[in-house]
């Protein structure tokens, strides 16, 4: 799995974003210059490992570093206790009651890493790379980012959280620096919350919001997370899928048994799981569980909005290296507006070993994304009912010996719960405000995406603050988020600084 | 997975074997006494780790220990070079040209261990256990085996290779000790070869036989491997399945991709694998690949022989904790006479992690056992053809980007090769000879099993020496061979000594 092959296909050449030039001719400090000034700190930030389950101490170091960084750059900042490791809150000085307040959300924690899958020794030692004529990525000196020679916007910085989600945090800081350097006045009050439990550990945002409702109160929330549209044009996202995760386990013998002495006699749990899974999804990806798609709102108006998104599906297929996509919905955007049913991992026996056994069980970890009309709890109930309808007896945890001898088909489903989907109306004021700022800065209408495929923890903010929520993604779509060789395109950092400066200087009460 | 639950069901109470008493009233040293005398050495032997891929040095220690042990007990012994670590050859002193020669085969190496699955700290530190009234196993002092108090034949010794296959080696030594102590004359010339590459590493027996044909020459070969019939009655096995192993891998995107942003778009390789596997086997275990069972010889005569084996299938099901077996053949013995198609391990993504990804591939490691009429190479070709017939393009190793973009369904099959099945005619002289010895010692006809489910490397001996081959299994059927909590029932050690002494004193030229 070479990142070169994963990335070779996408052209990040949207004109508005490839250029680093200022939109305001009078700027003394341009966005690329503001970016360059924070890159050393960005690199320092990326060097602090941020996988919650690996080290709570490292997460505390992230919070400490961030609080200090916000203060260095003129923000009021503090840590918000949340039991395990704190979140960080920051606020631009001198808020005015005459201005509307916008709360910007990002997160400091990252997904787990498997270093052997990366094309660099350590995901927490950032590597700057440039792409050769053959599409291959090769390292260049990290100092190229911070020296006086021009920075190529096509360079990429590879590290865990380089894109998801430390980059937007540093863009916030750089945008504020740029405003201050140029003497630009903000048109909104700026609040920032940096989550510490977005990717790992039990989510704590709900409690933190409940304990800090006054502090966090805002007229709108802007979530800086997720990738921009693949065209790399300015992007507004009005919602996201929710989701639930569970483990589906098929139980066979009470122990691994010898595949010679029991082959053709002991039920093979991997084949049983395969048969069960095959009843759940057609080969084209459509889920066969009755009722699974009930509540999906795919009306003609929505279809038109989705069709207007300028996706290059051939380019997406080429980027991820597939000849054909699944066929849920008529296009990529429609696909994102249906619930999913994917297996994130599957296990039977001891992979890598050649033990001649029939394993005692086979298990699949399922990630099922939801949309606003398909709540997680209902979806899980549909799955449980379906498994039972296939003749399985569902047990909690391991079956007892009595259950093993009574039921030919035994399975367990553990987990569930999950996150709600969200969609802010496409005509909400917060969307008009952001679109105006983007048009002003880049001279183009942003791409409007009703629902993006990934999840963001909007629920605690939506429920706790009662403010409308908009997602403004700033990083390149091909950032290998959550996987090996995560990276940030440098040009996106510069454009992100411009986007945030434009939002900072756009009056939320003015309307479109 | 408690061994208690795995073992609770089997009654090892066949009268002839439960009794430790001598068949020959004149024996000064009984089989239990001969056993007791070698138990300290047996325990010492089990403490030497014997997993080839873990340590070649440990395998050499096994060979050195064995050579010395055979010499201590009056055998001529030497190591037979085979490139990596040697095999050990031993021979009873004073062979006579007037007697037929029998070569006994066993192996010193063991299957891989996963200590966390064991109910003892270290699979290479043997633990003696007795079963409580509730069926649970609890440790007792190892010294109970070697002291002067009576030894309970129902005790079990738990360790890797306690049954498979170090026990038969120590039984050979004890049987010879018993003969010598009682002044009993052998009726055959006794040769012994102890393989070092049966469970792991590339098999080397073929080369060793080729280089030592004269040394190993014999009129019959007796393989001391595999479990006795579950009734624990004296057992003769005339053949065994062969087999092949391969990995079937379904390729999807060129990298793991985010399950949110690509769910419903990027093909899910686990579901693709599930669909493919579902075409290969019916839920009852019967393989659906055309031609897979061609050559299976299930004639009425064979069905009658198989039906005569006194299997207690309810007990087998109870022992391994299943309500229903697969339905290949009309009974357990018939099932062993059909080729198998099992998944020994399956993997997609990173089990244990909660990364929200759609994995780049899903893979199953297949163990397909064969019978004499279904040669491995043909079976593998049938599988490859079937996968292609399902629309898959087969690649060698990883697909190229060109292949990824060209073929919607991509798979690879690696491995194959494997071991041939064998069956010695049920009326061969070697079978009559062994049956006579068993009847003389135990007063019952042995259970005759035409083909046992597991594989044994008979091919190099059959081809290289041209002698008929018989399998004489000596260890309890519920020994958890190849899995965690492998164990030997002490009564089986004592009975095994009697069996071997009976064979040593049976004239091979005399017929039935």
Q: What is the pLDDT of residues B351-368, one digit of tens each?
A: 988 788 999 999 999 999
- Extended beta strands in B36-188, E state: 75-80, 87-92, 101-107, 127-131, 137-140, 156-158
Q: For residue A198, count other CB atoms closer than 10 A to its CB.
A: 25
Give the whole-angstrom CA distance, residue B336 versus residue B237: 12
Beta bridge mates, A368: A244
| Number of neighbours of residue A397 by Cβ within 10 angstroms | 8
Residue B240, CB half-sphere, CA atoms under 13 Å: how many? Answer: 27
The distance of A281 to chain B (nearest Cα, Å) reads 7
Question: Could A259 and B369 be called an inter-chain contact, meaning their C-beta atoms sit closer than 8 Å?
Answer: yes
Is the separation of the CB atoms in A456 and A223 below 8 Å?
yes
Residue of B nearest to A360 (CA): B1
Q: Please work out, in degrees rounded to the nearest 5, the angle formed at the alpha carbon of residue A201 by the alpha carbons of A197 and A207.
A: 55
Distance CA B106, CA B495 (A): 17
Q: Residue A254, SS3?
A: coil
Contact between B335 and A274 using a beta-carbon 8 Å cutoff: no
Q: Cα-flanking dihedrals φ and ψ of residue B406, to 5°?
A: -95, -40
The reply to whether residue B342 touches residue A263, judged by beta carbons under 8 angstroms, is yes
Q: Distance, in angstroms, between B488 CA and closest chain A CA?
A: 16
Assign residue B161 a region: left if phi > 0, alpha if psi is -120 to 50, beta otherwise? left
What are the beta bridge partners of residue B210? none
Nearest-Å Rg of the Cα atoms of chain B is 24
What are the phi and psi torsion angles at A407 (to 5°)?
Answer: -110, 120
**Is the minimum CB–CB distance between B358 and chain A shorter than 8 Å?**
yes
Q: What is the pLDDT along chain B (512 residues), one digit of tens a residue?
A: 333 333 323 333 333 343 344 446 578 899 999 999 999 999 999 999 999 877 889 999 999 999 999 999 999 999 999 877 899 999 998 899 999 999 999 999 999 999 999 999 999 999 999 999 999 999 999 999 988 888 999 999 999 999 999 999 999 999 999 999 999 999 999 999 999 999 877 778 999 999 999 999 999 999 999 899 988 999 999 999 999 999 999 999 999 998 998 999 999 999 999 999 999 999 999 999 999 999 998 999 999 999 999 999 999 999 999 999 999 999 999 999 999 999 999 999 999 887 889 999 999 999 999 999 999 999 999 999 999 999 999 999 999 999 999 999 999 999 987 788 999 999 999 999 999 999 999 999 999 999 988 878 888 999 899 999 999 999 998 899 888 999 999 999 999 999 999 999 999 987 54
- Is some CB atom of chain A closer than 8 A to the CB atom of B437? no
**The pLDDT of residue B200:** 78
Round to whole Å and give the CA distance between A457 and A286.
26
**In whole angstroms, how far apart are CA B253 and each of A436, A479, A485, B392?**
38, 15, 15, 15
The greatest distance separating any two alpha carbons of chain A, rounded to the nearest whole angstrom, comes to 82
Mind listing the pLDDT tens digit for each residue in A315-365? Answer: 999 999 999 999 999 999 999 999 999 999 999 999 988 788 999 999 999
Name chain A contacts of B346, Cβ cutoff 8 Å. 270, 346-349, 351, 362
Give B507 to chain A, closest Cα distance, Å: 32
User: How would CATH label the architecture of A3-240+421-504?
Assistant: 3-Layer(aba) Sandwich (3.40)
SS3 of residue A383 by DSSP: helix
Looking at residue A263, what DSSP letter applies? T
Closest by alpha carbon to B72, among B104, B49, B98, B40?
Answer: B40
In sequence order, what are the residues at sequence separation of 6 or more whose Cβ sits closer than 8 angstroms to the Cβ of residue A415? A244, A245, A246, A247
Q: Pseudo-torsion of CA A124, A126, A130, A136, nearest 10°?
A: -20
Nearest partner of B23 among B443, B435, B436, B432, judged by Cα: B443
Residue B350 with chain A: CB contacts under 8 Å: 112, 114, 345
Helix axes B166-182, B490-504, angle to 10 degrees: 60
Q: Hey, what are A82's tokens?
A: 């949340």
- Do residues A413 and A248 lie in contact, with contact meaning Cβ atoms separated by under 8 Å? yes
Question: Cα–Cα distance between B466 and B221 in angstroms, integer?
Answer: 10
What 3-state class would DSSP assign to B60? helix
**Number of C-beta neighbours around residue A336 at 10 A:** 29
Question: Which chain A residues touch B343 with a CB distance below 8 Å?
Answer: 268, 270-271, 348-349, 358-359, 362
What are the respective helix, strand and coil percentages of chain B, to the nearest 5? Answer: 35, 20, 45
d(CA A45, CA B457): 59
Nearby residues of A121 by Cβ (< 8 Å), 6 or more positions away: A115
**For residue A227, which of A31, A456, A469, A443 has the smallest C-alpha distance?**
A456
For domain B3-240+421-510, say whether CATH 3.40.50.720 is its number. Answer: no
Among A484, A367, A480, residue whose Cα is nearest residue A113: A484
Asked if the C-beta of A6 comes within 8 angstroms of chain B's C-beta atoms, the answer is yes
Residue A353 near chain B (CB below 8 Å): yes
CB contact under 8 A, A253 and B320: yes
Q: Counting every residue, how long is chain B?
A: 512
CA distance A364 to chain B (A): 9
Q: What is the CATH architecture assignment of A242-296+338-419?
A: 2-Layer Sandwich (3.30)
Cα atoms found within 13 Å of the Cα of residue B281, Cβ hemisphere only: 28
Partner B, chain A 7-26, Cβ-Cβ below 8 Å = 8
Q: Which residues of A479-488 are buried (b: 16+ CB within 10 A; e: fewer)?
A: bbbbbbbbbb
Scanning every residue of chain B, which has its alpha carbon at the shortest distance from the alpha carbon of A255? B1
**C-alpha distances out from residue B13 to A263, B151, B298, B452, B489, Å:** 26, 16, 32, 22, 11
| Packing angle, helices B166-182 and B56-72, rounded to 10 | 10
Task: Note the Cα A128 to chain centre separation in Å.
Answer: 22
Rounded Cα distance, A398 and A404, in Å: 10
Helix A166-182 with A56-72: angle, nearest 10 deg: 10
Q: Can you say whether the dihedral through the CA atoms of A59, A65, A67, A70 is positive or negative?
A: negative
Nearest CA among B119, B9, B167 for reference residue B495: B167
Whether chain B has a CB inside 8 Å of the CB on A356: the answer is yes
Q: Is residue A376 within 8 angstroms of chain B, CB to CB?
A: no
Measure the CA–CA gap between B178 and B184, rounded to whole angstroms: 8
The answer to whether the CB of A268 falls within 8 A of the CB of B342 is: yes
The helix/strand/coil state of B509 is: helix
Q: Which residues of chain A have pLDDT under 50?
A: 1-23, 512
Structure token digits, residue B127 = 């633990």
Mutation target for A interface from B235, B254, B338, B415: give the one with most A CBs within 10 A: B254
- Whether residue A108 contacts residue A453, with contact meaning beta carbons closer than 8 Å, is answered with no
Question: How confident is the model at residue B8, as a pLDDT?
Answer: 29
Dmax of chain B from CA atoms?
A: 82
Confidence (pLDDT) at B10: 33
Q: Cβ distance A483 to A8 under 8 Å? A: no
A339 contacts A379 by C-beta, under 8 angstroms: yes
CB neighbours of B231 closer than 8 A, spacing ≥ 6? B14, B310, B311, B312, B447
Q: Any bridge partners for residue A75, and if so which?
A: A92
Q: pLDDT digits over B427-459, tens only? A: 999 999 999 999 999 999 999 999 988 878 888
Please enumerate in sequence order all residues whose Cβ is within 8 A of that of A398, keeping only pairs 6 or more positions apart, or say none: A251, A412
Rounded CA-CA distance B345/B364 in Å is: 6
Q: Name the residue ranges covered by the structural domains of chain A.
A: 3-240+421-504, 242-296+338-419
Nearest to B258 among A262, A322, A454 (CB): A454
By DSSP bridging, strand A75-80 and strand A87-92 are antiparallel
Q: For residue A315, what is the DSSP state?
A: H
Cβ atoms within 10 Å, residue B336: 29
Give CA–CA dist A42/B222, Å, rounded: 71
Q: Which of residues 184-213 of B touch A (CB under 8 A)?
A: 200
Q: Which residues pair with A487 in a beta bridge?
A: A158
């Amino acid at each position: 799995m070479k990142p070169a092959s994963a990335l070779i296909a996408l052209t990040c050449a949207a004109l508005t974003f490839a250029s680093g030039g200022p939109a305001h001719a009078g700027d003394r400090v341009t966005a690329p210059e503001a970016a360059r000034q924070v890159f050393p700190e960005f690199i320092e930030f990326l060097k602090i490992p941020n996988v919650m389950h690996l080290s709570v101490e490292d997460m505390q170091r992230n919070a400490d570093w961030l609080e200090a960084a916000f203060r260095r750059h003129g923000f009021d900042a503090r840590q918000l206790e949340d039991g395990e490791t704190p979140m960080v809150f920051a606020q631009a000085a001198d808020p005015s009651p005459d201005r509307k307040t916008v709360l910007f959300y990002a997160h400091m924690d990252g997904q787990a890493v498997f270093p052997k899958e990366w094309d660099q020794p350590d995901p927490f030692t950032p590597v700057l790379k440039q792409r050769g004529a053959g599409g291959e990525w090769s390292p260049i000196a990290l100092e190229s980012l911070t020296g006086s020679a021009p920075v190529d916007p096509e360079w990429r910085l590879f590290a865990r959280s380089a894109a998801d989600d430390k980059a937007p945090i540093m863009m916030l800081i750089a945008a504020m620096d740029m405003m201050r350097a140029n003497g630009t006045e903000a048109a909104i009050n700026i609040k920032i919350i940096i989550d510490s439990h977005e990717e790992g550990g039990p989510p704590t945002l709900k409690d933190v919001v409940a304990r800090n409702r006054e502090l966090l109160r805002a007229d709108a929330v802007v979530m800086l997370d997720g990738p921009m549209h693949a065209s790399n044009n300015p992007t507004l996202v009005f919602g996201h899928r929710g989701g639930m995760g569970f483990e589906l386990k098929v139980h066979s013998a009470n122990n691994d048994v010898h595949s010679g002495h029991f082959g053709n006699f002991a039920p093979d749990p991997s084949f049983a799981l395969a048969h069960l899974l095959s009843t759940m999804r057609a080969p084209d990806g459509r889920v066969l569980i009755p009722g699974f798609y009930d509540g999906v709102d795919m009306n003609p108006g929505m279809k038109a909005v989705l069709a207007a998104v300028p996706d290059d599906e051939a380019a997406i297929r080429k980027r991820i290296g597939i000849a054909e996509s699944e066929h849920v919905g008529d296009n990529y955007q429609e696909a994102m507006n249906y619930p999913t049913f994917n297996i994130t991992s599957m296990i039977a026996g001891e992979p890598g070993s050649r033990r001649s056994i029939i394993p005692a069980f086979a298990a699949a970890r399922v990630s099922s994304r939801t949309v606003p009309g398909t709540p997680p709890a209902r979806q899980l109930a549909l799955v449980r009912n379906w498994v039972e309808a296939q003749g399985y007896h569902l047990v909690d945890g391991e079956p007892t010996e009595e259950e093993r001898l009574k039921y030919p088909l035994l399975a367990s489903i553990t987990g569930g719960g999950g996150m709600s989907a969200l969609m802010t109306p496409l005509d909400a004021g917060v969307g008009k405000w952001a679109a105006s700022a983007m048009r002003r800065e880049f001279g183009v209408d942003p791409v409007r995406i009703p629902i993006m495929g990934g999840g963001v923890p909007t629920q605690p903010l939506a429920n706790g603050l009662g403010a409308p929520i908009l997602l403004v993604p700033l990083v390149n779509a091909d950032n290998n988020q959550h996987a090996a060789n995560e990276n940030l395109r440098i040009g996106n950092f510069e454009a992100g600084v411009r986007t945030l400066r434009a939002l900072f200087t756009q009056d939320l009460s003015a309307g479109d």
